[in-house]
Structure 1
């Protein structure tokens, strides 16, 4: 009877403990990171009045008899299920998604405690702590290497107040973009480079000459150029004014109104130039122009009678038989009786020869070719051959040939043809030999040479080049004034806005009117050579130069010649954190042999900064180039880097590597047929900054955001896992300590091993389920009530027993 009383008492006690456990769970329903407990019931040792016996003989086995003595709580189990993650507005809040614990210490790391509560903050001195003041353990950034070593021992995480980030000088610069390789670039262009009037020299000092002159006589000094093998008696250039315009490694600059350095006196491949509307001229080899500097005109030839009554009348009916510019002009026998008949026959073939016959003074015949129409060689200049059996132009006895017509060779127009590969031009008094040009300088120099020295302004007949050269030499010496054919004053240049400019100044010596005529150039194909078509855009570009220009009249200019161009500005930093701008300017200057494109590159920085230490050219600018493959990928570029000195007290000689991408990955500069653009730029420099904010990534790295817009990892929170989480011992303040049954802590970073990831700006809610807990309360309450009934029932039975004595 007494046993039932004690069983009921044990049941009351056990259920009271279970009530305490569940009450604690409910009280922690809002405790961050709390894991609920469960009370584990176990029965007590039973009294055994009779033990079980095995079967013996005919007697079967009997079970033992045991009487239970009650129940008790032998343990509690903490359930480490995942709690709900709740977003907060605090960047340093952390929640663990998955297994693991944060590590905190109340004594500088000597004692380690473990928690799921990630409600962390910085104290006054920068300690990263929980709300109990325990310092979070982990790894801090090494100031020397700038790295966080998560293999090192953990220690207190301290992020000092007022932490600063020192400035970092730029060491590399990466640019990604596209340079338009197409033939339609719109307004993404810049004028071709300016060219002065001097070939293989540049008027550096602006005194309108590049040769040294005798200070007394003013004559050009005719000593050899130092360090070269020039023709005998070549003039001496003024110091520093030798310059090969087509050599991209010889740079000349001028400073524009924006205080920028601009390349000047450099030739540009005319195969890649554009008109002002952005349309590519697209010259191919052999295409070009006919340019005439004066009308090709013969001296008047006397044909027929000078008598006023019979003016121009031939003595007898005659036959005209001539070759004019390769076209045979032949009359019927006896057809020609007057000078007008000769003029008529010649003019009937004008469309084939380009030559017009003009009669003056009644019996004077002049042949004129204005060189302003047609595009073929047989319609330019005057090449007249008289087909007679006697002396040229004379009518021997018994002959019926026209008297007075003589052979003529008047050249004032020359053909200029493009060559993608540079070919040296030789000058001859021969219009069948083209002047070859590749660059704007080649064409400029050729036009100026021909206008000055190789145009037959005097209409004299020369049998060949040697005769013309001899005449020019005599003219220069002043011995044959009557045959003087020089025009030394004429000047061709290229202006800063990309126009060919013609000047014909009046000097009083060798002044001649220039009558410029520009037409296209075509050639018929044959078995060995392809036909050459007219390049209309090139002709239209230079046509504004056409017309008559007397000495001293206003200058005349062509249309604009443009280059495909693109520019970009990138900011870099010096060792003090001062910001500087680097300007990158690209210009399309040619084609590669495999069909790709070539671009010049001009890199410059504002003064007083320097990037050019060669001693040649401006100190704040360097030039380079880029070559692209036919598929638009970057084949090569230079320079690979620059050396930058800000001249503001920062460290000089700052090396900056240039990265424009390489190869077929197309992860840098490309040259496709689409608009030029800079897609992205990046560099690794920055100015100094102070710590403004903290953020945490999923691996527990505490990232500092600084006032300069940069950020880096300051520390990393450590995480611990255990073999048996339920073996941890709660220490209050929502922390646990390691026990003999939990196993030792395995420490590492979040997201590695079986450790969970960290969710920033979130906290893990308690995993207490109120519906389960409240149901559990009802069950515990009923159990408690039932045990109390056991006691009261046993008491009534005892009372009945006591009443038997009475």
Structure 2
């Protein structure tokens, strides 16, 4: 009877413990990071009356033992470390572990290590990352930011987690020092098309200087615009943005005066012939029969082919006057008046070689050094100089030509227009010019209409000596500009502007400009803030062929380090990852630099590796620290210390410490918390089971009591 009584008592005690455990689980249903426990029941040692026997002893089969159990006990409360649900929070320093692992915390700044799944962290007044109970979170800290300016982009988001653990502490007044720019990266297209949406006026040229086309020792006007820079005509555009696209020998005629020639016609009944501008003209006239004089007959013969020769005949005081206004497009056959074969008969007074040359042919050539004696040009300066020379020769062939004192000046004005002016030379004689531009064409050369129409703006019936100038339409070059702010060692911003302009068929030039008083090494002494002479060439597929220079040296002129080297990372040779030149509009896809200003710490957050990222007022993000995680061979062996804190025991094994997402350690989520893993439905059901077990054991006790009472009543 006493055995059954004590068995019932042990059952009630064990179920009381189970009730305590489940009550504790239910109490912590909303405790962050809580892991529920369960009571593990075991039966007590049995009282053995007879032991079990083997078969065939004394001829009998085997017999089981005869033993009576003495009750039940609880030998352990097992912690169940299943994953709890995660919940979003509005606190950026909250952390949740997804998977295996524990945060490492310390109550004595790292001497003792404890562990928790509760990620409700915050910063104290000294910048320590702590739990609600004041334990300092352990991990790895980046350290002094003085060397931040030397870090690579990848190093910004890394923390050295190979060293010993530290208290995670972040100075709330942390300042990131400035980093001076070392590289400018650009991705852009510079149009290769026949039309450009962005054009600017060509560089101005004066009338007295033969300008070198290499741009050495650049000259600027009062607005810091480059002048006296010759440009390749094949790379230029009209005012509507359409490319001239001049090819070899394409060009124009410029007439400075109407060609004229007077001569006497001889009365003759014989066949008369003459060759004007390589066109043969013949006629036979019997004036006695026709009643037409040889003078009129000669006039009619010449005018009948004027569309071939450009020459028209007039009768002027008994003389035959030939005139070519030089208004027809074409080859030499329609320009000027040239007697290319001596006349006979009525034309006997016209001798081969007689000529009146007032129109000049100017043809484009790709030659680096064109022969001016043939009227060839490549650059704006070549054409300007040729026109000025010829115009002065026509105005007064008796005067030696000197471009410093030329009375007819040709220049390129600030608006990108060729401008011709007939200045008064003070000799008292009015020597006017009339200008007419026409197109050059031949069997092998087409008439470049765009170029001709642009230059036809010079046309004037009378370019009066001392009067106003005559100008072409605007001529431009395709341009593209991009700007980026670079940073010096003091953290001061300086805007550097890149201006590209098309300078050849597959070539663009560029210049770099910084605000004064800053300077760029290699600039002109007159404008030290403007670097000229940059050149970019492209392959036939539009990829980058070469670029020069690839480095600029910058002097901020404010006490910052100088010279500051700026690498121009505009793409790889043969690649399309930087500058390209294909038939689409010019545009910049991306331009950036690697410097930044000093910045104050204004925000923090965690990434999935437990790295604490700091956001600074300069727009940069830097990894400041990394939270360490620990896992164990036997999580259930950890000792609960209260306050969501565990400590290691001999049965948990040594803590295996490392970063999140390494080993068997899980990941970390910022602004989230892991909730309790208590399942209320399971716990409430378990309460019913425990309650019934307790009731059943209490019934065993009362039954044993009744049996004892019956036994005691036997002696009565």
With normalisation by structure 1, the TM-score equals 0.83
Which residue pairs with 1:481 in the alignment? none
Which of 367, 372, 376 is residue 322 of structure 2 equivalent to? Answer: 367
Tell whether 2:504 aligns with 1:590: yes
Which residue pairs with 1:119 in the alignment? 120
Which residue pairs with 1:449 in the alignment? 389
What is the CA–CA distance in structure 2 between the aligned matches of 1:663 and 1:521, rounded to whole Å?
40
Does the C-alpha gap of structure 1 residues 386 and 46 become closer, same or farther in structure 2, counting only changes over 3 Å?
A: closer
Which residue pairs with 1:91 in the alignment? 92
Does the C-alpha gap of structure 1 residues 715 and 487 become closer, same or farther in structure 2, counting only changes over 3 Å?
A: closer
Which residue pairs with 1:404 in the alignment? 349
Which residue pairs with 1:500 in the alignment? 418
Which of 518, 523, 527 is residue 437 of structure 2 equivalent to? Answer: 518
Deviation of the 1:287 alpha carbon: 1.1
What is the CA–CA distance in structure 1 between the aligned matches of 2:127 and 2:313, rounded to whole Å?
103
Deviation of the 1:714 alpha carbon: 1.1
What is the CA–CA distance in structure 1 between the aligned matches of 2:636 and 2:14, rounded to whole Å?
21
Unmatched 5+ stretches in structure 1? 202-243, 305-313, 394-399, 428-433, 459-471, 478-485, 525-530, 592-596
Q: Equivalent residues in 2 for 1:402-551 (5 A)?
A: 402-407=347-352, 408-427=354-373, 434-453=374-393, 455=394, 475-476=399-400, 488-509=406-427, 512-524=431-443, 531-547=444-460, 548-551=462-465
Tell me if structure 1 keeps the 8 A contact 2:140–2:166.
Answer: yes
Which of 263, 285, 291 is residue 301 of structure 1 equivalent to? Answer: 263
Tell me if structure 1 keeps the 8 A contact 2:521–2:555.
Answer: no
Secondary structure at 1:331 match in 2: strand
List per-residue Cα deviations over 1:656-688 (Å, max 9, x = no partner). Answer: 222112134422222221121122221122222
Tell me if structure 2 keeps the 8 A contact 1:319–1:402.
Answer: no
Tell whether 2:226 aligns with 1:263: yes
Tell me if structure 2 keeps the 8 A contact 1:189–1:565.
Answer: yes
Does the C-alpha gap of structure 1 residues 722 and 173 become closer, same or farther in structure 2, counting only changes over 3 Å?
A: same
What is the CA–CA distance in structure 1 between the aligned matches of 2:174 and 2:400, rounded to whole Å?
82
Secondary structure at 1:119 match in 2: coil
Deviation of the 1:333 alpha carbon: 6.2
Which residue pairs with 1:678 in the alignment? 588
Which of 352, 355, 358 is residue 311 of structure 2 equivalent to? Answer: 355
What is the CA–CA distance in structure 1 between the aligned matches of 2:376 and 2:260, rounded to whole Å?
26
Residues paired across the two proteins, number: 695
What is the CA–CA distance in structure 2 between the aligned matches of 1:66 and 1:353, rounded to whole Å?
141
Does the C-alpha gap of structure 1 residues 386 and 44 become closer, same or farther in structure 2, counting only changes over 3 Å?
A: closer
Deviation of the 1:699 alpha carbon: 1.0
Does the C-alpha gap of structure 1 residues 402 and 140 become closer, same or farther in structure 2, counting only changes over 3 Å?
A: closer
List per-residue Cα deviations over 1:585-644 (Å, max 9, x = no partner). Answer: 1101102xxxxx211111011111111356644110112111122222222212212222
What is the CA–CA distance in structure 2 between the aligned matches of 1:318 and 1:199, rounded to whole Å?
57
Does the C-alpha gap of structure 1 residues 47 and 421 become closer, same or farther in structure 2, counting only changes over 3 Å?
A: farther
Does the C-alpha gap of structure 1 residues 615 and 566 become closer, same or farther in structure 2, counting only changes over 3 Å?
A: closer
Deviation of the 1:791 alpha carbon: 0.6
What is the CA–CA distance in structure 2 between the aligned matches of 1:37 and 1:670, rounded to whole Å?
67
Q: Equivalent residues in 2 for 1:282-297 (5 A)?
A: 282-297=245-260
What is the CA–CA distance in structure 1 between the aligned matches of 2:642 and 2:383, rounded to whole Å?
93
Which residue pairs with 1:600 in the alignment? 509
List per-residue Cα deviations over 1:449-496 (Å, max 9, x = no partner). Answer: 22123x4x68xxxxxxxxxxxxx6x7549xxxxxxxx99311111112
Tell me if structure 1 keeps the 8 A contact 2:190–2:582.
Answer: yes
Tell me if structure 2 keeps the 8 A contact 1:318–1:402.
Answer: no
Tell me if structure 1 keeps the 8 A contact 2:523–2:530.
Answer: no
List per-residue Cα deviations over 1:257-277 (Å, max 9, x = no partner). Answer: xxxx32211111111211111
Deviation of the 1:317 alpha carbon: 2.2
Secondary structure at 2:30 match in 1: coil
List per-residue Cα deviations over 1:187-228 (Å, max 9, x = no partner). Answer: x11111111113435xxxxxxxxxxxxxxxxxxxxxxxxxxx
Deviation of the 1:401 alpha carbon: 4.7
Which residue pairs with 1:781 in the alignment? 691
Tell me if structure 1 keeps the 8 A contact 2:10–2:73.
Answer: yes
Secondary structure at 2:229 match in 1: coil
With normalisation by structure 2, the TM-score equals 0.94
Tell whether 2:495 aligns with 1:609: no
Does the C-alpha gap of structure 1 residues 386 and 284 become closer, same or farther in structure 2, counting only changes over 3 Å?
A: closer
What is the CA–CA distance in structure 1 between the aligned matches of 2:26 and 2:341, rounded to whole Å?
127
Tell whether 2:544 aligns with 1:634: yes
Secondary structure at 2:248 match in 1: coil
What is the CA–CA distance in structure 2 between the aligned matches of 1:324 and 1:13, rounded to whole Å?
137
Tell me if structure 2 keeps the 8 A contact 1:268–1:589.
Answer: yes
What is the CA–CA distance in structure 2 between the aligned matches of 1:606 and 1:117, rounded to whole Å?
55
Deviation of the 1:142 alpha carbon: 2.9
